[in-house]
Amino acid sequence: MADEINLLTSFEFDKGGASLKRTAEQQKIDVSGDLYLETIASATSSGISVDKGDLATIGVARIKNLDATNYVRAGDDGTNYPLRINPGESFIMRLNGNALHLKSYVVAQVESFDVTGTGAVAQVETFTAVADVSDSLDGKYIQLSDESGTVGFWIDTDDSGTSEPAGSAALTRSVEVTTIATDDTALVVAAKMATAINADSKFSATVSGSVVTVTHATEGDVADGEDGAQTTGFTDFTVTTNGADQGVLDGTYIQLSDDAGTVGFWIDVGDTGTAEPSGSAALTRSVEITTVTDTMDDDTLATTIAAAINGDADYSASASGSVVTVTHANTGAMGDAQDGDQPTGFSSFTVVTNGEDPTVEVQVSMVEE
């Protein structure tokens, strides 16, 4: 007897004006054996050899992926898997060996989190200038602060050689303002004070009417601005944005996972010898981050945290703005990232891609050669 296997195949493609059509073609194939096997095989990520039962040599096989989500690969030597079968697809193949191997494919977990609001913040403050009346501002000063200490901005009207006031001279450093003239209006005084403050590298300043807004160049908590001991009469010294440093992150941690268990990444701000938080110490393992400093803004903090995570062999990490994205080096399902029991305040912990290590059901029909 001949022509024991009967195949009817066609192949068509049509997209974007391109088309390909191969009309239905019938093939009849002779086999010498008289056995067949039909089974449901469970493909794993480590690979399986499909039990061929009493078949001496496998000839033609039909493979159908019954899974709705995951794909499998097929091959005949257990090393190479050249045929990919997507969810719901089926293919017919002739084997070049005496075995059929199937392998499901795993996916590495990808997750992200956001450090917004936990980075250091630059202080912003305002004050309202007043007019000079017959050299009333001469020898007077206001006091600001930077990360090194107190700063006096003192006025020498008309650049007339006035001596620095004692209060200003006693500060960490001082800046002489020589551009204010006798009887300048409040608006002019404000503009000239803003220009002088803006010329100092530790500050930027803008003016609106008689109100001067000062933004500190370095993030972190500093002393509030105020009028000097030799008073200008400037008013409404107000902090509109409080400067904040990274001290709040000291001794906090986030929790990731790897294939061996839980991993804490904990923060020792400034590498000052802070003790590991108890929650992190209780995990499977932990990693100390010593590169966070007091003055990092959100984006710099995200970059620093990503670099620390990226230094661990079980992860790769990157930062975009204030968002850190972590990709696991090992494939398969992992515990989701979360903030620690001693929390950092990081937010939006999100699994972008679920790690998977699936078992995929495959329908296999095989005929003896």
Domain with CATH 2.60.40 in the chain: 109-119+246-353
Residue 240 has which token pair? 């509109």
Q: Greater confidence, 105 or 135?
A: 135
Domain with CATH 2.60.120.10 in the chain: 32-105+358-368
Helix (H, G, I), strand (E, B) or coil at 308: helix
pLDDT at 85: 95
Average pLDDT, integer, range 227-250? 88
pLDDT at 1: 58
Q: What's the CA gap between 280 and 282, in Å, rounded? A: 5
Task: Report which DSSP code applies to 244.
Answer: B
pLDDT at 247: 63
* pLDDT above 90 as % of the chain: 76
pLDDT band at 219 (very low <50, low <70, confident <90, very high): confident
**Using one digit for the tens of pLDDT, what is the confidence trace for 323-363?**
999 999 988 889 999 999 999 999 999 999 988 888 999 99
Give 170's Cβ-side CA count (13 Å radius).
6
- The model's pTM is 0.58
- Give the pairing type, strands 211-216 and 203-208: antiparallel
Q: What is the largest CA-CA distance in the chain?
A: 123
- Give the pairing type, strands 173-177 and 149-155: parallel
The mean-pLDDT minimum among 95-109, 252-266, 313-327 falls in 95-109
**Using one digit for the tens of pLDDT, what is the confidence trace for 33-62?**
889 999 999 999 889 999 999 988 888 999
Q: What is the CATH number of domain 32-105+358-368?
A: 2.60.120.10
Average pLDDT, integer, range 199-206? 98
Architecture of domain 109-119+246-353: Sandwich (2.60)
Q: What's the CA gap between 176 and 157, in Å, rounded? A: 10
